[in-house]
A and B are shown apart, each in its own frame.
Chain A
Amino acid sequence: MTLLAVEDLVVRYPVPRGLVGTLARRPRLDVHAVDGVTLDVGSGELVALVGESGCGKTTTAQTVLRLVDPVSGTVRFQGSDITQLGPSALRPLRRRMQIVYQDPYESLDPRLRVRAAVEEPLVIHRLGSRAERAERVRDALARVELSPPELFLDRYPHELSGGQRQRVAIAAALVLEPELLVADEPVSMLDVSVRAGILQLLDSLRAGGLGILMITHDLSTAARFADRICVMYLGRIVEEGPASEVVENPQHPYTRALLSVVPSRDPRRRRRPQILRGEAPDATRIPSGCRFHPRCPIAIEICPQVDPQLERPAAARSPEHRAACVRA
């Protein structure tokens, strides 16, 4: 069942010009943070939105949760269009879509004990009596494997390790029993030895029916835990498909380059890295035609003229594997 359906989402931020800029009549520039993104997340599915910084993955996630307003496009949650809803109409929806942030050291209020932090969503939405809330808090803590809950209820965040804080943050997201969870780089600030635990937790939640949209820059994590991967570049999805497909049989030159530069933990395994020169252009000046063409190792004549759409490549092995490249 499709939980989340995003279609042709466009999000722009005006670049502030300041007084001088306005007086000098400098042209108004927009940051094209998200430039036409279409994706779905089904229940029990973990979709990884992968890309480098500035590609628009975080903005997409925030727009999906309606923390940011899109310029155009639609966001549908369980069939109903939530793109234009106002704050009060969105409030009941916020219970069903939750977010977990990247920084476990900052996402919990340092003055609230674990009990209060996990209970807060229930209080905000006025759910249940005191006793019922206490029960749900304990359940949530048990679900994130902080057992026995009593050991953690009265602790302050600074008394917990990074991994434990992240579990508390996840518990606070789960306590409302959401259907969709957006995880923004959930493990990138955690130690390596702790990451797998958190990811496995997310994996088991997914198995329990939760739909998860995971933002990450780490392809290895996406490859291991995601059902599907969407690779973003400069505001667009340039390749998407089943995780194993995208990683083993990448069709877009950007995906190929990214995969080739991921260092392997095995010293004997040295991939031939395809290091792209320079960095992604800033999102106020999207290149013409295919936005990747200035850095593309296999660009041809028509690339600066044609903006390719996501299509199933000839060499794809799965019907759901799509790439936006004229040469695929």
Chain B
Amino acid sequence: MSVVLYEPGVEEAPVRSRRGLVWETIRRRPSATVGAVLLLVIALAAVLAPWIAPYGLHDQVGPVFGRPSRSHPLGLDDGGIDMVTLLMWGARISLVVGFAATAVSILIGGVVGIVSGYFGGWVDTLLMRITDYFLVIPDVPLMIVVAAIWGPSLFHIVIVIGILLWTGTARVIRAQVKSVRERVYVKRARALGAGHARIVLRHVLPQVAPLLIANTVLTVAVAVFDETALSFLGLGDPSRISLGKVIENAFQRAAISSGAWWAIVPPGALVAIVILACSLVGQALEDALNPRLRVAHLGARTFRLRPLVGRGAESV
């Protein structure tokens, strides 16, 4: 009977697997590729820091605020420690906190978003009011208060950042879940008698996953920034060096008046690059996921003209 499988006008394949869309986007869009490569390089450098850092983290290899030279391309900090080494070790903590806080945030935000969007009704209203409550809390003052009360430690920082960032995720995921829930195949599954767990896990989550990934990447950017801010304000874990702490140290030890820009600018720049890289990847993923942004708009006269084909003049 109908054995012919292909047909023009059948839409381009949406996506075969969860990983498909993410991978494809990173491969195809230059901004995402650049961002991903940057992140990879920085993450690798951070992870391998103990082995590939040029100098020891606590080795004083020169004078205080030593100038950049061939053996120390980014100079030395206020303790005579090589800046490149510091950056690599600092990135470790910054990224760890960034990812950990993001994990907390995505977990809370994802669950709230899914439950809220799927069940609707009073559950939705309640969860959204709670979300609103968290949304209006100013981040940095809260972090200051919490750090002041609980004391600064890596764990507290991660929790504080995580608790403040989940709201954005929750809202985005909730919107998507609400839309997926109305799709015919979900209604069909309900009509078949499928339980909520099954529908959420099998039908809703796969549709939401790419968006969740995009959101995760963007959240990492914010988390890294928040951590840097906290450390800069002296609320970070004093026993750990993060990029924010590096900046704070330099700031406290009068790097600026000493003219030692290399102690402040590089760590700041590195934070900015990490945030930029995450944003590039995250934005590209979001764009790829939003079907409306993909539609080629009917532009007046944007199409090209080709020479006449002339398959024989019309004989009618």
Closest to B12 in A: A158
Residue A15 at the chain B interface, CB threshold 8 Å: no
Q: Give Cα distance in the complex from A156 to B20, angstroms.
A: 14
Indicate if the CB atoms of A101 and B188 lie closer than 8 Å: yes
Do A106 and B193 touch (CB < 8 A)? no
| Contact A151 B3, CB 8 Å, known A156-B13, A158-B14, A161-B10 | yes
Q: A124 touches which one: B1, B2, B11, B194 (CB < 8 A)?
A: B194
Chain A: minimal CB distance from B181 (Å): 13
Chain A, 102-149, CB within 8 A of any chain B CB: 103, 105-111, 120-121, 124-125, 145-147
The one of B10, B183, B190, B192 in contact with A158, judged by C-beta atoms closer than 8 angstroms, is: B10
1/0 per residue, CB under 8 A from A, across B1-36: the answer is 111111100111111110000000000000000000
Nearest-CB distance from A269 to chain B (Å)? Answer: 27
Contact partner, B5, options A98, A106, A160, A167, Cβ 8 Å: A160
Q: Which of A106, A121, A161, A172 contacts B184 (CB 8 A)?
A: A106
Is B191 in contact with A145, judged by CB distance below 8 angstroms?
no
Q: Give chain A residues whose Cβ lies under 8 Å from the Cβ of B183.
A: 106
Q: Are the C-beta atoms of A146 and B1 separated by less than 8 Å?
A: yes
A121 CA to B194 CA in the complex, in Å?
8
Size category of the B interface is 20 to 34
**Cβ proximity bits B174-192 to A, threshold 8 Å, 1 near / 0 not:** 0000000001110111111
Task: Decide yes or no whether A202 CB sits under 8 A from chain B.
Answer: no
Query: Are B193 and A91 in contact (CB-based, < 8 A)?
Result: yes
Q: Are A121 and B192 in contact (CB under 8 A)?
A: yes
Q: Which residue of B lies closest to A152 (CB)?
A: B5
Chief secondary structure at chain B's binding surface: loop
> Residue A125 contacts which of B6, B185, B193, B203 (CB distance < 8 angstroms)?
B193
* A94 interface hit (Cβ, 8 Å): yes
A145 CA to B7 CA, complexed, in Å:
19
Return B22 CB to nearest CB of chain A, in Å: 14
Q: How far is the CA of A107 from the CA of B182 in the complex (A)?
A: 11
Q: Roughly how many angstroms separate A184 CA and B185 CA in the complex, as a whole number?
A: 14
Whether B203 contacts A109 by the Cβ 8 Å rule is yes
Q: Does A99 contact B (CB under 8 A)?
A: yes
- A244 lies within 8 A of chain B by Cβ: no
Q: Report if A124-B191 is in contact (Cβ < 8 Å); known contacts: A109-B185, A147-B1, A159-B5.
A: no
Contact A107–B184 (Cβ < 8 Å)? yes
Q: Which residues of A contact B1 (CB under 8 A)?
A: 145-147, 197
**Residues of A contacting B17 with CB < 8 Å?**
111
A109: which B residues are within 8 A, CB to CB? 185, 202-203
Question: Which of B12, B15, B183, B185: most chain A Cβ within 10 A?
Answer: B185
Contacts of B187 in A (CB 8 A): 67, 101
Q: Which residue of the partner chain, among A90, A95, A99, contacts B188 with CB atoms under 8 Å?
A: A99
Q: Which residues of B contact A167 (CB under 8 A)?
A: 2
Say whether A124 contacts B5, CB under 8 Å: no
Structural contact, B2 and A107, CB atoms closer than 8 A: no
B238 at the interface (CB under 8 A from A): no
| Chain B residues positioned under 8 Å from A99 (CB to CB) | 188, 191
- Whether B253 sits at the interface, judged by CB under 8 Å, is no
Question: Cβ of A120: which chain B residues have Cβ within 8 Å of it?
Answer: 189, 192, 194
Say whether A213 faces chain B, with CB atoms less than 8 Å apart: no
Q: Could you tell me if B191 and A111 are in contact, using CB atoms closer than 8 angstroms?
A: no
Name 12 extra pairs, CB < 8 A, besides A91-B193, A124-B198, A161-B2: A67-B191, A110-B15, A111-B207, A124-B192, A125-B193, A151-B3, A156-B16, A160-B5, A161-B10, A163-B2, A164-B5, A169-B188
Q: List 25 A-B contacts (CB under 8 A).
A: A65-B191, A67-B187, A67-B190, A90-B193, A91-B193, A94-B191, A95-B193, A101-B187, A106-B184, A108-B185, A110-B15, A111-B15, A111-B207, A120-B194, A145-B1, A145-B2, A146-B2, A151-B5, A158-B14, A159-B5, A159-B6, A159-B13, A161-B2, A164-B2, A172-B188
Identify the 7 closest CB pairs spanning chains A and B, nearest first: A94-B193, A106-B184, A107-B184, A109-B185, A161-B7, A124-B194, A91-B193
